[in-house]
Amino acid sequence: MQAEVKSNDQEVKHAQFSEFVSFTVAGQAFCLKITQIREIRRWSPVTILPHAPSDVLGVMNLRGAVIPIYDLSARFGLETTEASERNVVIVVSSAGKPVGLLAESVSEIISINPEEIQETPPVDSRNTMEYIQGIISHDETMVRIINLDAVISVPEQVL
């Protein structure tokens, strides 16, 4: 399943707006810049990597390339996801290499004026602070903007 991103004419006119894809992880709303996302796929069972930390689910075959899949929820220090067919894998690109992130479901594409992005208020959980770049208010819910580099770079050091 590939999400094709169409920007309608009206949005193009507001050049200063950036588009984000929002999705839920462990019941919370998160988002990533649309340009960071390569594709979104339905979850299919992955091959387990032996001795891998709990937030690394395993590896998946993406058209002949072996890509690692991380459990976003576990990475954020939330409960580990019991992956099922309903879940999605968001394929992002890190330094040219694709990486898959498991999320509960994808919600929508939202258009955000960069000025609306608020800094993350300090909270106790250091894990969260590290992975969250900022927050935005959208339809009266809080959407967390993920710091992709932090999410992707850490596991390679851990492994």
* Residues near other proteins (CB under 8 A): 45-52, 56, 59-61, 64-68, 97, 155-156, 159
Question: What is the nearest approach in angstroms of other proteins to the Cβ of residue 62?
Answer: 10
Residue 151 tokens, joined: 């999410």
Quickly count: other Cβ atoms within 10 Å of residue 70's Cβ.
Answer: 23
What does the CA dihedral 10, 16, 21, 23 come to, rounded to 10 degrees? Answer: -110
Among 74, 104, 75, CA closest to 87: 104
Considering the complex, state which of residue 49 and residue 150 has its C-beta at the smaller distance from other proteins.
49
What's the distance, Cα to Cα, between the start and end of the chain in Å?
30
Q: Which is nearer to other proteins, 60 or 146 (CB)?
A: 60
Task: Give whichever of 46 and 146 is closer to other proteins, judged by the CB atom.
Answer: 46
Q: Is 53 or 134 the residue whose CB approaches other proteins more closely? A: 53
What does the alpha-carbon distance between residue 1 and residue 24 come to, in Å, rounded to a whole number? 18
The distance of closest approach from Cβ of residue 95 to other proteins in the complex, given in angstroms and rounded to an integer, is 9
Least distance (Å) between residue 142 CB and other proteins? 33
Q: Check if the beta carbon of residue 145 is closer than 8 Å to that of residue 34.
A: no
Give the shortest CB-105-to-other proteins separation in angstroms: 24
Give the residue with the Cβ less far from other proteins, 61 or 137. 61
We find the least distance from the C-beta atom of residue 59 to other proteins, in angstroms, to be 5
- Residue carrying structure tokens 């399943």: 1
